[in-house]
């Protein structure tokens, strides 16, 4: 395979809902470019793209697949992405290295949730788009309604370049209003027959042609002047204006295809070759640090790794985009993220699992290499600037959490290794071991995402795991002041143990006055504050430890031991074993023994006195409350509101945005288990949400009673 120059490269990403035809279109493009000699079929499970066993078993694309084809002396790199929202990470990483998106729309189903999701994702990366109306041969195909839906969402940016002459079961022809020709196909599709537009379509075609000329002229002042002067533009001038409009995302050209019948693909590829921007026509990826570079083969060599995967019999494969210069086999590059050297032993261009060796790749191209030592996704490799780093890809935040554990404790280490390997391949898995909850928590995009992970444990790693509901990180606190004392006394021959602590505890709030006089348990207690220690707790809140000892009833050397005992109980609260917070403790009296008193005695005395006082001080359990923002279609607003009210949500406000309703609420984390699945079911996949921790608030009495009884049963069982 020859080395393609930057201007001879096009980088595309295929976008759309599940089942919109992305994988089939990829087959058509590879077949049209001669990379494969026979088109595969999704149902037959022999496509170049969905080659992973799990994809064939599940019947859907679950990962991005790197492909390429050659057409009209150009190289077209293709990234086929999943349509299911749980695998949006693969879409985001692909958009970050592509220069154009092909957005497939099912003309029978219209604008689906996945279509809208793809538009949002492409907007975040400012990627130009071409709309492809697919399944025009379906009996329920409705092209006009699909265009109407698209324009209601995205306005007149949606610009017709082709329209079908006869959508439906007999579909075999389109009118191209850029070329002003009609293309038609035989029953097997393939290469089209180009003819003049029939008289019956002439008026409609001319009207749409004029609209296209106007849209092309709008994007460049010189073209607008030409248009006003001549009343029209040449095809080359229109291409120039369309290219500018696509880069600015003020124009989304609409093409017509039937991917299954290979109709319209070659004309689409011709348009891509003629109009779609080359990599150096697009803005350079932002850098965190390092010199200014250009996407040119004459600049220093730098590459950005956007995807890593583990392939059977090969090991780790790193997929990258050449950002500048030329990368050659045998080069030594600096991994500027890890500050180590990596040798590029082999270079490949990929068509699914098929890899073709090449000796070099130039700026703008996409390729792969194998067996790098420490390089992962989001890493920058460079040959002359050890400071250069490209801005990393920002992946979607998790929306679903589950606890995971090995059935056999001996497999714990293997489980950790497997999870880190899966995370290297899919960065949208976030792994966290919670010391507080004593659980391994896995954050993901949704239940389907978790099902894929479970499949890998069952079929690849052969490790039996359990998926559990994650515990909630509750907190404990108190609502009133209380007194307690405790004497620890132990005598077992020789030196014994003795320590007695009298203390007062009360709720702590910022800015409260120093302790002075209290009336508790029918008596007045005067406190003389000596000194204060403020403990900022790692889990939030504070413990304020006040030394109010008068007359040396407890020696100062035992104060740290008392504090240590109290902190141990703060880490395992008396009610449910959760962390305690926001408490002020005043040690005001106690007793020592000249021989038997020691640190352990006062530690135990302090711990037990604190526990006794805590239970008398109106103890309350606090739960984490999250700020929730839900965006839903207007017609599903009522269902979503009802569901939120059933989750103890407090609605804080509402608004409208682009035909959607936005709900702002505060909701307990306990009630948000599997919310992503519920919202998807309520809104047909169109709803989306984001959550952010807000505060800890007291739980309702009935919830506290339930938690206390559950904890008591758990303690008894242990």
Please give the pLDDT value at position 718: 64
What is the distance, to the nearest Å, from the Cα of residue 586 to the centroid of all Cα atoms in its chain?
Answer: 47
Q: Are residues 27 and 130 in the same domain?
A: yes
Residue 185 falls within a domain, yes or no? yes
Q: Are residues 629 and 549 in the same domain?
A: no
Q: Are residues 430 and 362 in the same domain?
A: no
Would you say how long the chain is, in residues?
Answer: 718
Please give the pLDDT value at position 560: 96
Neighbours of 365 (CB within 10 A): 28
pTM: 0.89
Q: Are residues 72 and 112 in the same domain?
A: yes
Identify which of 116, 67, 69 has the alpha carbon closest to the alpha carbon of residue 88. 116
Please give the pLDDT value at position 64: 96
Largest CA distance in the chain: 115
Residue 717 falls within a domain, yes or no? no
Cβ-proximal residues to 189 (8 Å cutoff; 6+ apart), any chain: 258, 261, 262, 263, 265
**What radius of gyration do the chain's Cα atoms show?**
33
Rounded distance, CA 392 to CA 259, Å? 34
In this structure, what DSSP letter does residue 87 have?
A: G
**DSSP string of 107-156, one letter each residue:** TTT-S-HHHHHHHHHHHHHT--EEEEEE-TTSTT--HHHHHHHHHHHHGG
- Per-residue pLDDT tens for 684-712? 888 999 999 999 999 999 999 999 998 88
Residue 14 falls within a domain, yes or no? yes
Beta bridge partners of 265: none
Half-sphere exposure of 332 (CA within 13 A, CB side): 4
Please give the pLDDT value at position 205: 96
pLDDT band at 335 (very low <50, low <70, confident <90, very high): very high
Residue 668 falls within a domain, yes or no? yes
Q: Are residues 647 and 552 in the same domain?
A: no
Task: For residues 624-632, give the mean pLDDT.
Answer: 95
Please give the pLDDT value at position 181: 96
Whether the CB-CB separation of 165 and 201 falls below 8 Å is answered with yes
pLDDT band at 315 (very low <50, low <70, confident <90, very high): confident
Residue 218 falls within a domain, yes or no? no
- Per-residue pLDDT tens for 67-116? 999 999 999 999 999 999 999 999 999 999 999 999 999 999 999 999 99
Cβ-proximal residues to 382 (8 Å cutoff; 6+ apart), any chain: 290, 300, 301, 302, 303, 333, 334, 336, 388
Cβ-proximal residues to 307 (8 Å cutoff; 6+ apart), any chain: 64, 66, 90, 93, 318, 319, 377
Query: What range does the domain containing 172 cover?
Result: 9-198+250-281
Domain count of the fold of the chain:
5
Whether the CB-CB separation of 394 and 306 falls below 8 Å is answered with no
Q: Is 466 exposed, middle or buried (0-12, 13-18, 19+ CB in 10 A)?
A: exposed
Residue 48 falls within a domain, yes or no? yes
Whether the CB-CB separation of 259 and 265 falls below 8 Å is answered with yes
- Per-residue pLDDT tens for 157-187? 999 999 999 999 999 999 999 999 999 999 8
Q: Are residues 25 and 150 in the same domain?
A: yes
CATH number, domain with residue 445: 3.30.70.870
Rounded distance, CA 129 to CA 16, Å? 12
| Last residue within a domain, chosen from 444, 468, 492 | 468
Q: Are residues 163 and 182 in the same domain?
A: yes
In this structure, what DSSP letter does residue 228 have?
A: H
| pLDDT over threshold 80, residue 492 | no
| pLDDT over threshold 70, residue 40 | yes
Rounded distance, CA 657 to CA 660, Å? 5
Residue 49 falls within a domain, yes or no? yes
- Per-residue pLDDT tens for 422-480? 999 999 999 999 988 999 999 999 999 999 999 999 999 999 999 999 999 999 999 99
Residue 244 falls within a domain, yes or no? no
Q: Are residues 38 and 168 in the same domain?
A: yes
Task: For residues 592-607, give the mean pLDDT.
Answer: 93
Rounded distance, CA 544 to CA 269, Å? 70
Instruction: With residue 526 as reference, give the H or E element that holds it.
Output: strand 523-526
> Please, what is the end-to-end C-alpha distance for the chain in angstroms?
67
CATH number, domain with residue 675: 3.30.70.240
- Per-residue pLDDT tens for 377-430? 999 999 988 999 999 999 999 999 999 999 999 999 999 999 999 999 999 999
3-state secondary structure (DSSP) of residue 609: helix
Average pLDDT score, the chain: 93
Q: Is 698 exposed, middle or buried (0-12, 13-18, 19+ CB in 10 A)?
A: middle
Residue with tokens 């850098």: 287
Q: Are residues 576 and 485 in the same domain?
A: yes
- Structure-block tokens of residue 122: 């492409």
Q: Are residues 436 and 346 in the same domain?
A: no
Can you point out the beta strands (E) in 380-474? 380-382, 389-390, 400-406, 430-434, 439-444, 465-468
Whether the CB-CB separation of 422 and 463 falls below 8 Å is answered with no
| pLDDT over threshold 80, residue 583 | yes
Residue with tokens 């070329």: 179
| Last residue within a domain, chosen from 568, 583, 613 | 613
3-state secondary structure (DSSP) of residue 417: helix
pLDDT band at 493 (very low <50, low <70, confident <90, very high): low
CATH number, domain with residue 112: 3.40.50.300
| Last residue within a domain, chosen from 571, 590, 613 | 613
Share of the chain above pLDDT 90, in %: 86
Q: Are residues 349 and 428 in the same domain?
A: no
Q: Are residues 646 and 687 in the same domain?
A: yes
- Per-residue pLDDT tens for 340-377? 999 999 999 999 999 999 999 999 999 999 989 999 99
Share of the chain above pLDDT 70, in %: 99
Task: For residues 538-543, give the mean pLDDT.
Answer: 94
CATH number, domain with residue 335: 2.40.30.10
């Amino acid at each position: 395979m020859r080395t393609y120059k930057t201007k001879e490269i096009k980088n595309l990403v295929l976008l759309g809902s599940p089942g919109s035809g992305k994988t089939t279109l990829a087959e058509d493009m590879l077949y049209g470019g001669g990379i494969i000699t026979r088109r595969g079929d999704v149902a037959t499970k022999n496509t170049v793209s969905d080659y992973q066993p799990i994809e064939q078993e599940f019947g859907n694309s679950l990962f991005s697949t790197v492909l390429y084809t050659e057409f009209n002396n150009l190289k077209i790199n293709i990234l086929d992405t999943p349509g299911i929202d749980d695998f949006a990470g693969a879409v985001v990483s692909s958009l970050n290295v592509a220069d154009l998106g092909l957005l497939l729309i099912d003309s029978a189903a219209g604008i689906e949730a996945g279509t809208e999701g793809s538009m949002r994702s492409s907007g975040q990366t400012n990627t130009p788009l071409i709309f492809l109306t697919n399944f025009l041969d379906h009996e329920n195909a409705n092209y006009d309604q699909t265009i109407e839906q698209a324009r209601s969402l995205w306005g007149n940016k949606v610009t017709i370049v082709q329209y079908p002459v006869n959508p439906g079961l007999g579909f075999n022809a389109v009118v191209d209003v850029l070329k002003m020709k009609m293309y038609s196909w035989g029953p097997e599709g393939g290469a089209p027959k180009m003819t003049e537009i029939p008289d019956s379509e002439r008026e409609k075609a001319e009207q749409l042609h004029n609209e296209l000329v106007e849209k092309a002229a709008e994007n460049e002042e010189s073209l607008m002047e030409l248009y006003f002067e001549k009343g029209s533009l040449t095809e080359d001038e229109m291409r120039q204006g369309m290219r500018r409009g696509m880069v600015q995302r003020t124009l989304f050209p609409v093409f017509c295809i039937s991917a299954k019948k290979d109709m319209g693909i070659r004309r689409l590829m011709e348009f891509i070759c003629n109009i779609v921007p080359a990599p150096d026509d697009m803005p350079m990826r932002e850098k965190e640090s390092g010199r200014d570079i250009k996407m040119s083969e004459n600049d220093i060599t730098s590459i950005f790794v956007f995807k890593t995967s583990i392939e059977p019999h090969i090991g780790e494969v790193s997929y990258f985009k050449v950002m500048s210069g030329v990368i050659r086999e045998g080069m030594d590059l600096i991994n500027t993220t890890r500050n180590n050297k990596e040798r590029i032993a082999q270079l490949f261009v990929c068509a699914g699992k098929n890899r073709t060796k090449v000796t070099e790749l130039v700026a703008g191209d996409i390729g792969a290499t194998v067996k790098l030592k420490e390089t992962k996704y989001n890493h920058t490799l460079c040959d002359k600037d050890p400071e250069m780093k490209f801005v990393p890809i920002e992946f979607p935040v998790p929306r679903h959490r589950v606890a995971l554990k090995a059935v056999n404790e001996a497999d714990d280490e293997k489980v950790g290794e497997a999870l880190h390997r899966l995370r290297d391949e899919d960065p949208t898995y976030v792994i966290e071991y919670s010391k507080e909850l004593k659980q391994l928590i896995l954050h993901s995009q949704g239940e389907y995402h978790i099902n894929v992970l479970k499949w890998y444990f069952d079929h690849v790693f052969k490790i039996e795991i359990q998926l559990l509901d994650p515990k909630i990180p509750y907190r404990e606190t108190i609502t009133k002041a209380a007194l307690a004392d405790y004497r620890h006394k132990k005598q077992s021959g020789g030196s014994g143990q003795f320590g007695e602590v009298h203390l007062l505890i009360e709720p702590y709030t910022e800015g409260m006055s120093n302790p002075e006089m209290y009336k508790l348990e029918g008596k007045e207690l005067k406190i003389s504050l000596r000194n204060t220690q403020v403990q900022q707790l790692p889990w939030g809140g504070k413990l304020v430890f006040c030394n109010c000892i008068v007359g040396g009833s407890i020696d100062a050397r035992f104060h740290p031991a008392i504090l240590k005992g109290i902190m141990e109980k703060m880490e395992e609260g008396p009610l449910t074993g959760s962390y305690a917070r926001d408490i002020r403790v005043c040690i005001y009296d106690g007793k020592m023994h000249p021989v038997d008193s020691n640190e352990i005695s006062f530690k135990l005395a302090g711990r037990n006195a604190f526990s006794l006082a805590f239970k008398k001080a109106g103890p309350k359990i606090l739960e984490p409350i999250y700020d929730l923002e839900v965006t839903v279609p207007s017609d599903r607003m009522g269902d979503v509101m009802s569901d939120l009210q059933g989750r103890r949500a407090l609605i804080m406000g509402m608004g409208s945005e682009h035909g959607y309703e936005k709900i702002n609420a505060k909701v307990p984390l306990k009630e948000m288990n599997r919310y992503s699945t519920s919202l998807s079911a309520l809104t047909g996949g169109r709803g989306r949400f984001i959550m952010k921790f807000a505060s800890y608030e007291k739980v309702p009495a009935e919830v506290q009673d339930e938690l206390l009884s559950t904890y008591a049963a758990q303690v008894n069982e242990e």
